Amino acid sequence: MKKQLTILIFLLITVPAFSAFAQTVRPTPPTAVEDDGEVIKVNSRLVVVPVSVTDASGQPVLGLKAQDFRVSEDSQAQPIEQISEADKVPLEIALLVDVSSSVNKIFELEKSAAAQFLQGVMRPEDRATIFLITDRPILLQTRDTAENTAVNVRSIAQTKSSTAFYDTVTTAARYLSLNAQPRSRRVILSLSDGEDNYSELTRKPTAAAYKNLDVNKLTLKELDQRANRTVKAHTQAQAAVLKSLQNTDTVFYTINASGPSVRLNVASQRGQNALQQFADETGGTAFLPQFVTETNSASFERQNKQILGNIFRQISAELRAQYLLQYYSEGDFPTNKYVKLEVGLNSPQKLRVRARKGYFVKN
């Protein structure tokens, strides 16, 4: 009897202690399992790729399944885990409005068209954010509905400030990454010429290149050397912006109202080239429309409204045709390596596929 009582007391003491130990100690999962000499990876990276599919007339192509798509990393095919259609995935839009001194003549028309676009493309569960592009990024409105965003867009006023374009795009991408709904479609829509003269990554190197110097006394060679420093600063800044967009799975759209005048100077060309690169690399579209610029013309407002309407309809069609493709990468790449992506259809049938061209490997 004593022996049985002793065993019972021992069990009452040790079993709870063992249970508590079992709840707090968690074994580290293995990174690979070896089976008959074959190593099977169990730690994989989830890659998310927004993809839009439109037909020859620009209309959205809906109803596609995972088996309709193909994706490869550095030319190596990847098995697609899941694909979600636009109507099943929340949309998060960051609208970037340039209010700096370089603002164009159709500013008011752009605001009105953008407001109408948001009200047409956004659903009740979707959200939009507004950033102003000035001498620093200004968060005018946090995530809100289409109706409230439309009101706030129409109330935006111009300023005479400098332009921190790179800083604003990076800030907006980071904001979406931290605040957007999980597994949402993240989009930046920029109304700007892309000309940057006040971002952190460009302002300091440019100022340092000409500090305490009389430009009029510099030789042509010395001027070229300092100009090259500015070019290098912009190149590095653009690479940083693109990496930020890629790391946050953000698609970049832009409308540059400058038109053919971008050819007039180096800064304008550089701005448009950056806009084009950001859009191409993330699966968006860069628009450089030829607006009517004579404000006294009777057709100024009518024609420009029509041009803007066509642009926003195309963006809307692409967003309504956007799928969220997800797969677990089978590639073994080091952190921060840029991996090239190729996304297409197994039966193209003259359809247009837009998707990001790569991503940077995260930890």
Residue ranges and CATH numbers for the domains of the chain are: 45-86+325-360 (no CATH), 87-318 (3.40.50.410)
Mean pLDDT confidence for 238-266: 93
Alpha carbon distance 185, 250 (integer Å): 8
pLDDT, averaged across the chain: 85
Answer yes or no: is pLDDT of 307 > 80: yes
How many CB atoms within 10 Å of residue 188? Answer: 28
Does this model's pTM top 0.75? My answer is yes
pLDDT confidence tier of residue 263, bands split at 50, 70 and 90? confident
- Output 228 or 233, whichever has higher pLDDT: 233
Q: What is the DSSP letter of 27?
A: P
Q: Which pLDDT score, from 0 to 100, does residue 12 have?
A: 39
When mean pLDDT is compared across 9-23, 136-150, 193-207, the lowest value belongs to 9-23
Q: Which pLDDT score, from 0 to 100, does residue 222 have?
A: 65
Q: Which pLDDT score, from 0 to 100, does residue 103 have?
A: 63
Backbone angles phi, psi at 42, to 5 degrees: -115, -10
The side-by-side arrangement of strands in the sheet containing 76-78 is 76-78, 69-73, 338-345, 358-360
Answer yes or no: is pLDDT of 252 > 70: yes
Q: Which pLDDT score, from 0 to 100, does residue 230 have?
A: 86
Identify each DSSP E strand in 134-248 by its residue range.
Answer: 137-144, 185-191
